[in-house]
Amino acid sequence: MAEQREELDIDRTGVELFAGGGGLAMAVQRAGFRPLLFNEVAKRACETLALNGEKPLPVDVEAEEAKADEAEKGGYLWIPGPGERPPLAIGDIKMIKFSYLEGKVDVLAGGPPCQPFSLGGVAKGDEDKRNMFPEMFRAIREMKPKAVICENVRGLLRPSFKPYFEYILRELELPFEKRDNNVLWQEHDAVLRGKLADGTTDPSRRYQVVVTQVNAADYGVPQIRHRIIIVAFRADLNVDLEAFQRRVQPTHSEAALYRSMVDGTYWERHKVPEDVRKRVMARVPSSPSTADDLQPWRTLRDAIRGIDENEGKPLPPIPAKYLDREERNLGGVTDHIGWPGARIYPGHTPNELDRPAKTVKAGVHGVPGGESVMILDDGTHRYMTVRETARVMTFPDTWRLEGPRGEQMRQLGNAVPVRLGEIFAKAVAETLREAEGSI
């Protein structure tokens, strides 16, 4: 069995759509999936992808489509072999044909943009054209991947959106039941409900779907970040869904952080001034819960000190005189640049060093005002640097982000924390391996 499993692991493959700054793409690769294709439309994010990791080769989708003969449309993308650089399809996903990848993809990953729908709009079937879930379903139909990983905002679960979200999940279960352009989603949903009820759909054309609500802090990410992760397995693989769910259980807790503060292990690690310790401990329960045996939440202070591959590489402080936008290569890392003008004001409380960071947000011009401000041990405050923000997104210091500060912060705010994505991608890999090893 061991030899069989080793053979099964030789060449796992993946495709990353809506790749952004590369968080989920990096996670999927770390889980052992060799990339066959990346897709992204944002210029700066594409530059970041081309600079890092597998260094995919950029392909301008629109330009290639324009010059290709009708018979060769889509032929400009290729299937890279092991050790070869994959293509980076730059441009609108609607222009990409995925049929050349049919049967060759183990996992399709991505976070499809799903802009808010008004209740009235959804009720009328007047859906936002920026909703990219239909393109994700088309990619599934054309590739037939073994598994799918989607990350998205928790807002999909809000009551006003719930009926449409449940429809999205049924579409993912039956992606080959294509919806015609002139059919309302409610009408298509009725068809899907009927197909699921009669249970006659070919298992190779049906997916088993698991939705997990997560707080990234519960998985060792030094950030409070509430999201949903949708994972689907092709039904003919007969995977053990319960085993998958066990593999993605939380590993860290707030109570464990409090316990580490009460027993002193947290403070021993950080050697903070006594007055800071007392100030923080005044807000910590004197008898924190012992109901779990999980690891402590990681804090912003932990991230700055260095965790995972950044372990033992503390970022140097930013002196007040360096809050001037000037690159000084402090600590030998990039993008650790002081930025002026930080303010604390109502509705925008700062990040605290001894808590996980607040949710990193993209915003229209990068991370919005107070959301990226941190308060220091001496009571002063400043903006977090791009590198500090990357660390709370669990990006390694070796990962370069292209563009000016606002663009870099936008890429981080739109990304999946690498550690969170890796836990789910590894769980998918192990669940597939287990299923295929039992055949």
pLDDT tens column, 195-245: 999 999 999 999 999 999 999 999 999 999 999 999 999 999 999 999 999
* 2-6, 171-175, 370-374, range with the lowest pLDDT: 2-6
The band of 120, judged by pLDDT with boundaries at 50, 70 and 90, is: very low
Which residue among the candidates 59, 77, 114, 136 is catalytic per the annotation? 114
Q: Give me the pLDDT at residue 317, please.
A: 95
- Statement to judge: residues 139 and 203 lie in one domain: yes
Residues 316 and 206 in one domain: no
Query: Three-state secondary structure along the chain?
Result: CHHHHHHHCCCEEEEEECCCCCHHHHHHHHCCEEEEEEEECCHHHHHHHHHCCCCCEEEEHHHHHHHCCHHHCCCCCCCCCCCCCCEEEECCHHHCCCHHHCCCCCEEEECCCCCCCCHHHHHCCCCCCCCCHHHHHHHHHHHCCCEEEEEEEHHHHCCCCHHHHHHHHHHHHCCCCCCCCCCCHHHHHHHHHHHHHHCCCCHHHCEEEEEEEEEHHHHCCCECCEEEEEEEEEHHHCCCHHHHHHHCCCCEEHHHHHHHHHCCHHHHHHCCCHHHHHHHHCCCCCCCCCCCCCEECCCHHHHHHCCHHHCCCCCCCCCHHHCCCCCCCHHHCCCCCCCCCCCCECCECCEECCCCECCCCCCECECCHHHHEEECCCCCEEECCHHHHHHHCCCCCCCCCCCCHHHHHHHHHHCCCHHHHHHHHHHHHHHHHHHHHCC
Q: How many domains does the chain fold into? A: 2
- Is the same domain home to 175 and 260? no
Yes or no: say if 157 and 213 are a contact pair by the CB < 8 Å rule.
yes
Residue 124 predicted with pLDDT over 50: no
- In this prediction, residue 329 has a pLDDT band, given cuts at 50, 70 and 90, of confident
- Residues 428 and 402 placed together within one structural domain of the fold: no
In this structure, the answer to whether residues 198 and 76 fall within a common structural domain is yes
Domain encompassing residue 385:
253-414
Do 71 and 132 belong together in one domain?
yes
One domain, residues 26 and 96: yes
Give me the mean pLDDT over the 356-366 stretch.
76
**How far is Cα 419 from Cα 329, in angstroms, rounded to an integer?**
26
| Contact status, residue 347 vs residue 371, Cβ threshold 8 Å | no
Q: Look at the pTM and tell me if it is higher than 0.85.
A: yes
CATH number at residue 302: 3.90.120
The answer to which of 51-60, 109-118, 218-227, 287-296 has the lowest mean pLDDT is 109-118
Residue 114 catalytic? yes
Please indicate, yes or no, whether residues 278 and 393 belong to a single structural domain of this protein.
yes
| 280 shares a domain with 232 | no
pLDDT reported for residue 315: 97
Q: What is the domain-level CATH number for residue 231?
A: 3.40.50.150
If asked whether residues 262 and 185 sit together in one domain, one would say no
Task: Let me know whether 35 and 145 are in one domain.
Answer: yes
Give the pLDDT of residue 368: 46
Q: What is the pLDDT of residue 365?
A: 41
**Are both 334 and 427 inside the same structural domain?**
no
Confidence of residue 131 (pLDDT cuts 50, 70, 90): confident
Mean pLDDT in residue range 125-131: 66
Residue 385, pLDDT above cutoff 70: yes
Which pLDDT belongs to residue 127? 66
